[in-house]
Structure 1
């Protein structure tokens, strides 16, 4: 009927808008699943689950009684025949586990669904699926004006947020680079805005509420994407100046032994912890560890180049300092790329 046609139309709008957003954020998916594609499979599967006594009828509804596992009762289908989330989620999980031959499945959904996923994982286990299944939950995003709520109107859309960040970024860039072309200003502002959005989300532990403050996020100081990007751009500028001298860098003990300053040792120790930080972040599914590490490395580099002139020294000493900041900059670039953030060579 007309309702179905309207649903199809708005669904197409939504999918198109999501695809545009993902493209802007440089996010790609190997395969996209839609709930409507799995509902019918789930309804057919209910009979199989009832035959196995995993699901039962209760007051004309279909439920999973998981009380013996201290997981309460999960309603699969209401008494009026309305199929609920598990009806699609069970066949979807089975499809992903079998098609991609997964040893581990990580589902990223907000913290309010914690009990539901414990129940879902238990059902899959009872069906014989022993793969490791993890619900990577995350907390709410809060604005300075309070919790976001569509009911109270205290929300900001992706488009509104992106436009605000781009406009504010443009103003900051123009202050520093009046002679830049409009195209370069726009491209830099767009890259910076995307970096800010990603970093502000990823720098906070998933178990903590994210306080998204647009004004603070745009600062080029403190725990922000702008600060790290500015540090990277500043060092890149120094490296470009050095490259003009056409001096071949040589890594040997005679060169590195000149790095005796306490600030230099601190940077070397920080660089050495990079692989360990990535490993810990991966094992705990916590990208905020890497974000914090990159911020701390940027702080050390900033302190260093403000205190010690990098390009003023004899050949061996200069080479050593350049190798140090070049290595640091490469780590910042690699680390931000792991977080899905593009670096800016100029700011």
Structure 2
């Protein structure tokens, strides 16, 4: 079978080694005569998967002991509501830095819960950059500051993360978690949908400092309460067992590769190849993001006009490239180069982009 050259933004490519192992175990996990998705979530076998996943996350991301790891459902979009429901203190505000569509949505949901304000924004520049720390205006008494570390639609990424704040830093890391080392101790809470760098859709990772669990009020609905999930080891209700199993396999794959530092080195090499094609094209390809804010995960660019863009996308698909159309809200093109996208696929895309440019 010929594998597609998958550049989808999410759900995205999974490592072939992970898919091969899952295929092998799909019908018969550990000689049980059942697949993982058929196991009881109360069984020892699934509890082992759950514990192994937790342990791998802690090791790969160097998560300190005073942080809890939760495996939830509902995607990052549910966290837009759960974060303020659990962390926004009575009479206080929550501060949000706007760097794209997803941070806008996070703010909108938070405003339904309480007082949420804009601490900084790059919307005036069509989200081509990340605001500098000097631009922040955080009201006194804010319960937390929320950022989105990588912006899939606009192709920007935080390369200098806020540190030493006097309030908890909350980060949506859905599209760049596990792609580079981060200092978890700088954050109060990190959340990430799995379907870009961690596995298939269906499971969301939440990493929360344990002292913040005290903010989760008992009157919250149980299914929206971080404290409830913490006390039950993320097994309060039936979890997304198959997605967690895939998450475990992806984490094992990352560990075997050499961990997050090795993944960062690979991701920098992949992104550099495509940005080099863009920068050397003499304006034929135009990168959306300003250079100092460019994402290592989502390379966004445009061509001269919509007709030429349509031809590019059509010929790219005919050549086996999938998922290169930009988000419907901004158009243009986007190549998502997550951890599982192999270097050889990037090299093929770079060759195609040069070939297309030479012909047009």
The TM-score range, normalised by the shorter chain, is under 0.3
Normalising by structure 2, we get a TM-score of 0.24
Normalising by structure 1, we get a TM-score of 0.24
Higher strand proportion (structure 1 or 2): 2
Question: Which structure: larger Rg?
Answer: 1
Which of the pair has the greater relative contact order for Cα pairs under 8 Å at 6+ separation? Answer: 2
